[in-house]
């Protein structure tokens, strides 16, 4: 149960922080790329994406850990928890990448790529 609460908290915080670090130029570039209105709140959008990414990654990691542990005849709880945390971190990172400085940097380097 603690990982679900952590996914909510960490996912929303990571998403808001990543979008909050955007410069005005980056925001303008991303708004144009994704067809958003100029006053769209990227922090709120990215916080929601972080929550969903953390939950999806945590579920996938936990499921993989449980199946793997059962196949190896080990205690599935510990393996599932560890892989669930790793999956949550990966899911948060992947989901919040859309509105981040890295995405803006990639768009500047290759405008037709995304």
Identify the CA nearest to 77 among candidates 61, 62, 87. 62
pLDDT of residue 114: 55
Q: 74: which DSSP letter?
A: S
pLDDT of residue 3: 64
Q: How many helices (H) and strands (E) does the chain have?
A: 5, 0
C-alpha–C-alpha distance, residues 108 and 72, integer Å: 47
Q: What is the full per-residue pLDDT of the chain (114 aa) written as tens digits? A: 456 777 788 889 999 999 989 999 999 888 888 888 877 788 888 999 999 999 899 889 888 888 888 888 877 777 888 888 888 889 999 999 989 998 999 988 887 755
Burial class (CB in 10 A: 0-12, 13-18, 19+), 109: exposed
């Amino acid at each position: 149960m603690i990982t679900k609460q952590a996914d909510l908290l960490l996912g929303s915080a990571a998403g808001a922080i990543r979008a909050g670090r955007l410069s005005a130029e980056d925001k303008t570039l991303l708004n144009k790329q994704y067809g958003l209105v100029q006053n769209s709140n990227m922090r709120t959008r990215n916080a929601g994406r972080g929550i969903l990414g953390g939950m999806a990654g945590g579920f996938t990691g936990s499921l993989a850990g449980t199946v793997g542990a059962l196949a190896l005849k080990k205690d599935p709880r510990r393996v599932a928890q560890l892989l669930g945390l790793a999956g949550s971190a990966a899911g948060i990172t992947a989901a919040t990448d859309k509105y981040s400085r890295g995405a803006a940097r990639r768009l500047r380097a290759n405008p037709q790529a995304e």
